[in-house]
């Protein structure tokens, strides 16, 4: 597999990344496919980060005056670049993040989709007109660009999550500064190169409108603490969010947090088990369990447990694990050794708690000693232990038997995270209860679909320790703008609200 560094260089070249950005730098970039070093990028130093943010702030002051539909044209051009380079960027996602081919391509498709959405949005940044209590007055809301948007993204969706934020923020009239995961800088530089091409085609874009900062925690902190960065959109662990949120709040910045998930599904007596099997398999094993929306807890009703779970065990045993670039592979590598260790620790804990583990072992250690491939693990648990309540970013599905729907629902909600959820049922009462006010407490709740793989059209994000932020579709754009309430008097008198009188002279 020593061909990866060569192929990476070829892909980066075709995507327009200057060779100097990915060679000779201080930071080695490894592919999780075989652990080989595929490039060396250069960390941005503190002065470089400050300069990029200052330039973005200047650029914002010009960009905010460009009409929104015109700003949409830039995103339309970016979408064209993404369409033209989908194969290359998708392949680079696979090499850098270890995603199977269709998921690497799917990630780029998600970027294209959000560009389309944002282009339409550029003509729909609507404000309300509101009835006023005063005669010959009009009240309305206007939405204005807010400033530099800082984006901190994670390795597992190295480019799509940035694009959700960047496409919206740019259309909303903001500038963007991106700190990608230190594990996936190449796809970031490649996406930035494509945006740079779109900017060149658009012409007349202020210098510094979009920037990438390469590096670790210190670079992220530079974004988090800079007063010019009006919105910080951060995707990653709950621990990261816990560090970011108070720092942004301390300077009265706005944070959009998309943090850990511990997503569950409830399988009810009337569930279509063929469909459930497919839904569970993709949601739990897809992306090697490394989506924030990955299915991690499965509550299965007593009456279907002994039919579904043996079939699931069989699916777990038959799934093709290995090089994500090879046709037919469904489960690629874990990101790194740390992910593998965390998985093994969680499995050991669940065994100690009485869990019955199927799978979970390392595979391909002989052919790819520098990589961490694992059999996805299905763990039948006697109950929802502390280990189950924690998010372990690996392909572990905890399965718990239930007999009472209300008890299952209570367990479903009894974790600190609140991102995504699903129910498999053909019973209207169960489905609607799950979606109701006393049902799933997550930001995403699905029926007869697993919790992962959301489309961009809906708002994406979750409650509790997931952070409360919403990104992507619906009206998530509002978080990237400031709202002004305007009251206009077109009469000749000055009636005061609430009937207050204040007559002078």
**Where along the sequence are the contacts to ligand UN1 (CB under 6 A)?**
110, 156-157, 161, 235, 291-293, 452-454
Supply 60's token pair.
């914002």
Identify whether the C-beta of residue 447 lies closer than 8 Å to the C-beta of residue 435: yes
Establish whether 292 is a catalytic residue.
yes
Which residues, in sequence order, are CB contacts of 106 under 8 Å at separation 6+?
90
- Maximum Cα–Cα distance for the chain, whole Å? 93
- Could you identify the residue written with the tokens 């019973």? 427
Of residues 96, 107, 258, 430, which has the active-site annotation?
Answer: 258
**Cα within 13 Å of Cα(64), Cβ side:** 18
**Residue 291 vs 296, nearer CB to ligand UN1:** 291
Three-class DSSP category at 347: helix
Min CB(242)–ligand UN1 separation in Å: 17
Nearer to ligand UN1, 145 or 260 (CB): 260
**Nearest-angstrom CA–CA distance, 307 and 317:** 16
Q: Residue 114 or residue 245: which is nearer to ligand UN1 going by CB?
A: 114
CB of 117 to ligand UN1, least distance (A): 13
380 classed as catalytic = no
- Helix or strand run (H / E) with residue 142: strand 137-145
Taking the complex as a whole, the smallest distance from the CB of residue 128 to ligand UN1 amounts, in Å, to 30
Which CB sits closer to ligand UN1, 294 or 323? Answer: 294
Q: By C-beta, is 25 or 458 nearer to ligand UN1?
A: 458
Residue 87 exposed, middle or buried by CB count within 10 Å (0-12, 13-18, 19+): middle
Alpha-carbon gap, residue 104 to 87, rounded angstroms: 9
Buried b / exposed e over 213-246, threshold 16 CB at 10 Å, is bbbeeebbbbbbebebbbbbbbbbbbebbebbbe
> Measured from the CB of residue 446, what is the shortest distance to ligand UN1 in angstroms?
10
Smaller CB separation from ligand UN1, 8 or 235: 235
Check if the beta carbon of residue 470 is closer than 8 Å to that of residue 479: yes
| Active-site entry in 292, 380, 391, 430 | 292
Least separation in angstroms between residue 110's CB and ligand UN1 is 6
Nearer to ligand UN1 by Cβ, of 145 and 461: the residue is 461
Count other C-beta atoms under 10 Å from residue 503's C-beta. 5
Instruction: Compute the least distance from the CB of residue 255 to ligand UN1, in Å.
Output: 16
Distance between CA atoms of residues 233 and 241, nearest Å: 10
The least CB distance from residue 101 to ligand UN1, in Å, is 17
* CB of 157 or CB of 477, closer to ligand UN1: 157
State the nearest-atom distance from the C-beta of 64 to ligand UN1, in Å.
Answer: 29
Give backbone dihedrals phi and psi of 144, rounded to 5 degrees, phi first: -120, 155
Structure-token pair, residue 478: 């509002």
Distance between CA atoms of residues 137 and 132, nearest Å: 7
Q: Following DSSP, what letter does each residue of 7-41 receive, concatenated?
A: HHHHHHHHTT--GGGTSS-SEEEE-TTT--EEEEE
| Catalytic center residues | 258, 292
């Amino acid at each position: 597999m020593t061909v990866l560094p060569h192929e990476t260089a070829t892909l980066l070249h075709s995507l327009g990344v200057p060779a100097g950005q990915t060679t000779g730098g201080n930071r080695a970039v490894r592919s999780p496919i075989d652990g080989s070093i595929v490039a060396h990028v250069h960390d941005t130093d503190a002065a470089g980060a400050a300069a990029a943010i200052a330039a973005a702030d200047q650029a914002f002051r010009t960009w905010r005056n460009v009409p929104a539909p015109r700003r949409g044209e830039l995103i339309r051009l970016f979408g064209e670049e993404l369409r033209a380079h989908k194969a290359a960027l998708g392949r680079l996602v696979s090499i850098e993040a270890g995603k199977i081919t269709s998921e690497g391509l799917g990630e780029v498709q998600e970027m294209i989709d959000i560009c389309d959405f944002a282009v339409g949005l550029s003509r729909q940044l609507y404000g309300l007109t509101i009835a006023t209590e005063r005669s010959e007055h009009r009240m309305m809301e206007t939405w204005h660009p807010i400033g530099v948007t800082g984006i901190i993204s994670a390795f597992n969706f190295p480019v799509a999550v940035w694009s959700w934020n960047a496409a919206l923020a740019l259309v909303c009239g903001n500038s963007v500064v991106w700190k990608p995961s230190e594990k996936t800088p190449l796809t970031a530089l490649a996406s930035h190169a494509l945006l740079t091409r779109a900017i060149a085609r658009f012409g007349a874009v202020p210098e510094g409108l979009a920037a990438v900062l390469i590096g670790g925690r210190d670079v992220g902190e530079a974004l988090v603490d800079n007063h010019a960065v009006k919105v910080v959109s951060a995707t990653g662990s709950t621990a990261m969010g816990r560090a970011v949120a108070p720092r942004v709040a301390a300077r009265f910045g706005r944070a959009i947090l998309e943090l850990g998930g511990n997503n569950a599904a409830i399988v009810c007596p009337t569930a279509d088990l063929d469909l459930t099997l497919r839904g569970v398999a993709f949601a739990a094993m897809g992306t090697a369990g490394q989506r924030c929306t990955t299915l991690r807890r499965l509550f299965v009703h007593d009456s279907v447990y002994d039919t579904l779970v043996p079939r699931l065990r069989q699916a777990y045993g038959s799934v093709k694990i290995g090089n994500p670039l090879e046709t037919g592979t469904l489960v690629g590598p874990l990101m790194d050794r740390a992910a593998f260790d965390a998985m093994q620790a969680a499995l050991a804990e669940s065994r100690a708690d009485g869990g019955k583990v199927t799978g979970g072992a390392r595979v391909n250690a002989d052919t790819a000693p520098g990589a961490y491939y694992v059999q996805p693990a299905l763990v039948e648990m006697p109950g929802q232990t502390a280990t189950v309540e924690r998010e372990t970013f690996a392909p572990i599905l905890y399965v718990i038997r239930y007999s009472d729907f209300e008890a299952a629902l209570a367990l479903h909600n009894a974790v600190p995270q609140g991102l995504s959820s699903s129910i498999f049922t053909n019973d209207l009462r169960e489905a609607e209860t799950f979606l109701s006010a006393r049902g799933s407490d997550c930001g995403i709740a699905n029926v007869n679909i697993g919790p992962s793989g959301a489309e961009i059209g809906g708002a994406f994000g979750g409650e509790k320790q997931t952070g409360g932020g919403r990104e992507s579709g619906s009206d998530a754009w509002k978080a990237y703008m400031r709202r002004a309430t305007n009251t206009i008097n077109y009469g000749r008198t000055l009636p005061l609200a609430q009937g207050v009188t204040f007559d002078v002279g």
